[in-house]
Structure 1
Amino acid sequence: MNRGIAITGMGLISSIGNNVEENLASLTSNKTGISRITQINTVHKNDIMVGEISQTNDMLEKKLGLAPNSYSRTPLLGIVAAKEAIAQAGISNIKDCKTGLISGTTVGGMDKSEQYFYDYFESDDHWNHINGLHAGDSTQKIADALGLTESFVTTISTACSSSANAIMLGARMIKAGELDRVIVGGSDCLSKFTINGFKTLMILSDTYNTPFDENRKGLNLGEAAAFLVLESDEIVLRENKKVLAYVKGYGNANDAFHQTASSENGDGAVLAMEKAFQTAGIEPSDIDYINAHGTATPNNDLSEGRSLIRIFNGNVPEFSSTKAFTGHTLAAAGSVEAIYSVLALQNNIIYPNLGFKTPMSEFDLVPETILKHKEINTVLSNSFGFGGNCSTLIFTKEA
């Protein structure tokens, strides 16, 4: 039986809160973070709705003591979340054991590189932002801010499953003895490139997203950063650490169906969940709550719904998607919802699937629509990315 990897700290900033506590308050009071665009000058600002963080880059830089216009938004958000996680874990010396950082992102420094793109051949004044386009740059900036200058630092960019895969890799590295502690998660900000890209796919909603509803119109893009501190049993025992929850199981698979769509029957999702159950050493019947990927696109909700029916043999536990609160935060989604899963365990609650009214015609699945109190010991969280990359995480109260 897998003992699980201890989670000792969590940090989060999203459109519904600037820290973990504020996010929980929003989740339990039906406070959505979906609104019209205010911080990006895009021609689509009146066409779509997003999950936008209210703090500007200037505000974040001042909060972190950084020079104006020095960092793109992705690492700014990431540093805020990672520092909160480290503080909760009570880490005063981040170099006291083998510590690493695994961060997921898709946007990277795109918000700044697109801003100065047309100056590329005219001036070197903003070369730092042009060079900060790639995904690894944001991870390195987060690592530098945490003092992880000579540690294992890497980036995962598997689209919307990125930070879920970061958690999985971190758990595996601790289990293998490669690391004693690892900060895992992801960060993504809104950018014109992202908005335009999803707009061409015709899957953005002009109103609030409604996961698993027959009349869903598409997703709301969101921005967020979320990180968790994973630590080995030895560190937990040595420092008498409080354990928030455990990473019990994980699985990753690819249905190799389409560049941006999931297979209609959820083949990759089924494989990922099967692997997660195998790793955890538990059965589907042990799951008390499912935090679904639930993007509110026609394809995703159909594919995921069918995969849940298959893996649970028609007896699907209570489930909901929290993306109606935050929007789809892309690479950060897996770690955002990992923290929501841990909060569900700690508080014995199931979050409402906001906006749901009409069951889908293809099957008889109805998510939870009001906040529900229930004894919860095991939570399954799904994250599915473009390219068919499917990941499942299982969290438990006990090791």
Structure 2
Amino acid sequence: MTRVVVTGLGAVSPFGAGVKAFWEGLASARCAIEPLTLIETEGFRARIAAAVPAAAVDRLAASRRRSRADRFGLAAAAEAVEDAGLSRAELARTALVVGAVGGGMLETEAWYWARARGEPDAGAGLAAVLPCSHADVIGRRLGLGGPRETVVMACSSGAAALAMAADLIESGAAPRAVAGGVDTITRVCYMGFNALKLLDPEPCRPFDRDRRGMSIGEGAAFLVLESYGDARARGARIYAELAGHAMTTDAYHVTAPDPEGTGMIAAIRGALDRARLAPAAVDYANAHGTGTPQNDRIEARALARVFGEGRLLVSSNKSQIGHTMAAAGGLEAAATVLTLTQGVVPATVNLTSVDPEVPFDCVPRVPRVSRRVVASRVVVTGVGTVSGVCTGGAAAIGPVLESGRSAVGRVTAFPTDGLSSHLAAELPAGALAALVEPAEARRLSRVSQMTLAACRLAVRDANLGDLSDAHLIVGTEFGDLRSTEEFAAGYLRRGAGGLSPLAFPNTVMNTMAAASAIALGLHGSSITVNARRVAGELAVGRGAALIASGRATAVLAGGVDELSPLMFALLARLAAISPRGGGEEGCRPFDQDASGPVRGEGATFLVLESLEAAAARGARALG
């Protein structure tokens, strides 16, 4: 197996820009959580957060087209690349994997707020609304010519990006990768966690007996990962080795962890197995440590099950920089590498009374001085699709393609008055009713129902029985914008009292994957990738790579997107949809007079299996 090592580090954190500022803040036990001024906080339970200092932001490269998050990500990635000493030729073969959630949401919120209040529309940064915009900016600016992926997995996005980058290197798809995560504080995120009553009015206290919730933060961190052989050949400095990684899904609840920590335990053991390490070889765990009553208790229980009570040092960087969401995995990975190289374990700074249910030394208040895979052939055994022209399995798709049927027509689901286009391909009313149970329909948003319906059709088409070890990879361009708009509208209508804690989880792109994993009982990894136009293809490619590497025998992979009023208004504002007013003539691919795409909605998922697994159960291979 190819060894993967770390040769470069870059960070933007609540301590400032750069790895030096990040480590000095951690090693000095400073807490960067303070009153929040970036957004309005009037009426909220918590009014504090760990924001990147304004002076540090002002020094970052700016552009009208770049979001605050783009600027964070570019600065951190550029520092990592410079630290690794990569040449232009080496960068041309370097992959990029970005963990992201909010994208340019902060700027889009400002546009939406102004639009809803009838105020002047600035529109700055709107082009960077999607999480995948960070990869576009970083890849283009740094000349990264290898594979490029964006993964949306809520607060595990940054850590997942590192694991997925290591997969690319181990498979030979790229000799090295720039990987990590980026996120900024946004109104929707801050309001949502306030609505869920998960934020502590005071700086968070992970593992404390009296903890009351988490604190939000922001930032970015990227690591340069490369094969050990390439690093040695070019004489690179090696910080550490990424020896093992694993991903699992609880399939328990959208916002709460499995109380037994089953998924955490499986992931830890999977990483140790991949690294060929015994639990006794590990001395320190940089914990997720959010400060919420549930998470800390369950995480401590999982660590104790694997490593034994009391043997590890455990600490949480979130006590100093807050929960930086998609950036958390990258920042905490960089912190862990620096812990190894500097010989100092950062403290859990606000910890005063350790919870009796946490059987570890959690380093309270003061830092501590420390002590090639043979590819499987991949086949498609099932297809499920929900769209304007077809709902069904593989047998239903062929006749529709042969008939040339079109679903393009005037939008009926919401008004389009005043917009440049009125044309789309909508899902027929009632298309999901037979595939989603009434109780599920009441609980799930429409785009989550579309995801689940297509997945169920694919599973039926493949005649796949036991799904417990299967993985799910969802590609999406816009995610659940409809729920995001409804959640924000509640605040604009009624202030903090109008925020719905039930709607908030749907504002995060990976909720579709999480909800479907729960409904289907999937316990393999559940991954969301975000990209313009090709998210579904990337999801299928990622699923095939999982199987080819021997890390999975069955994967559900595909894409989903829905039409929504906000999406339509946003695309019209960016002139990204056809202005033609009606009829199929509005969508004319390859025509010299084509005026832009016509948007549609739907979901299509494939069941991917290894040839051996499919043959063993007598499954039909579609391709």
Q: Shorter-chain TM-score category?
A: 0.7 to 0.9
* Worse overlay, 139-148 or 21-30: 139-148
Cα distance, 1:95 vs structure 2? 4.6
SS in 1 for 2:86: coil
- 1:8 lines up with 2:7 in the alignment: yes
Moved over 6 A (4+): 121-125, 388-391
Provide, for residues 225-271 of structure 1, a one-character-per-residue CA deviation record: whole Å limited to 9, x for no partner: 00000112332122111111111110111111110011112111101
* Worse overlay, 121-130 or 353-362: 121-130
Contact map agreement 2:304 2:359 (CA 8 A) in 1: no
SS in 2 for 1:228: strand
Q: Distance in 2 between matches of 1:138 and 1:129?
A: 12
SS in 2 for 1:254: coil
Determine which of 139, 142, 152 is the counterpart of 2:138: 142
> Could you say which residue in structure 2 is the equivalent of 1:255?
250
Provide, for residues 154-210 of structure 1, a one-character-per-residue CA deviation record: whole Å limited to 9, x for no partner: 101000110101000111111111101100001000111110111111100110111
Q: Distance in 2 between matches of 1:34 and 1:214?
A: 20
- 1:1-399 mapped onto 2 (5 Å cutoff): 4-43=3-42, 47-55=46-54, 59-60=58-59, 63-64=60-61, 66-67=62-63, 69-93=64-88, 95=90, 98-118=93-113, 129-148=125-144, 150-369=145-364, 370-375=366-371, 387=514
TM-score norm. by structure 2 comes to 0.57
Change (3 A) 1:184 1:52: same
The AA in structure 1 aligned to 2:169 is I
Q: Distance in 1 between matches of 2:359 and 2:95?
A: 44
SS in 2 for 1:253: coil
* Worse overlay, 158-167 or 366-375: 366-375
Q: Distance in 2 between matches of 1:206 and 1:295?
A: 14
The AA in structure 2 aligned to 1:47 is A
* Structure 2 spans left out of the alignment, 5+ residues: 372-509, 526-623
Q: Distance in 1 between matches of 2:120 and 2:38?
A: 26
Q: Percent identity?
A: 30
Cα distance, 1:123 vs structure 2? 11
Cα distance, 1:365 vs structure 2? 3.4
Q: Distance in 1 between matches of 2:349 and 2:342?
A: 19
Contact map agreement 1:161 1:390 (CA 8 A) in 2: no
Change (3 A) 1:200 1:214: same
* Structure 1 spans left out of the alignment, 5+ residues: 376-384, 392-399
Change (3 A) 1:46 1:71: farther
Provide, for residues 99-149 of structure 1, a one-character-per-residue CA deviation record: whole Å limited to 9, x for no partner: 11100111111000000015569899755634432211222122222123x
Contact map agreement 1:120 1:127 (CA 8 A) in 2: no
Q: Distance in 1 between matches of 2:321 and 2:295?
A: 17
Change (3 A) 1:95 1:123: farther
Change (3 A) 1:40 1:98: same
Q: Distance in 2 between matches of 1:22 and 1:117?
A: 35
Q: Distance in 1 between matches of 2:29 and 2:191?
A: 29
Cα distance, 1:216 vs structure 2? 0.3
Q: Distance in 1 between matches of 2:280 and 2:51?
A: 37
Provide, for residues 77-110 of structure 1, a one-character-per-residue CA deviation record: whole Å limited to 9, x for no partner: 0011001101100123155552111001111110
Pair member with larger Rg: 2
Provide, for residues 367-399 of structure 1, a one-character-per-residue CA deviation record: whole Å limited to 9, x for no partner: 112211123xxxxxxxxx9849999xxxxxxxx
What value does the CA root-mean-square deviation take over the aligned residues? Answer: 2.4
Q: Distance in 2 between matches of 1:24 and 1:57?
A: 16
Q: Distance in 1 between matches of 2:90 and 2:115?
A: 39
Cα distance, 1:43 vs structure 2? 2.2
> Could you say which residue in structure 1 is the equivalent of 2:484?
none
Contact map agreement 1:166 1:185 (CA 8 A) in 2: yes
TM-score norm. by structure 1 comes to 0.88
Change (3 A) 1:295 1:390: farther
Aligned residues: 376
Provide, for residues 318-340 of structure 1, a one-character-per-residue CA deviation record: whole Å limited to 9, x for no partner: 11111111000001100100000
SS in 2 for 1:160: coil
Q: Distance in 2 between matches of 1:313 and 1:229?
A: 33
The AA in structure 2 aligned to 1:17 is G
Cα distance, 1:17 vs structure 2? 3.0
Provide, for residues 308-353 of structure 1, a one-character-per-residue CA deviation record: whole Å limited to 9, x for no partner: 1111133441111111110000011001000000001001121111
Contact map agreement 2:12 2:18 (CA 8 A) in 1: yes
* Worse overlay, 105-114 or 44-53: 44-53
Provide, for residues 42-70 of structure 1, a one-character-per-residue CA deviation record: whole Å limited to 9, x for no partner: 3257833211101369714xx42x33x33
Contact map agreement 2:66 2:125 (CA 8 A) in 1: yes
Q: Which has the higher contact order (CA 8 A, sep 6+)?
A: 1
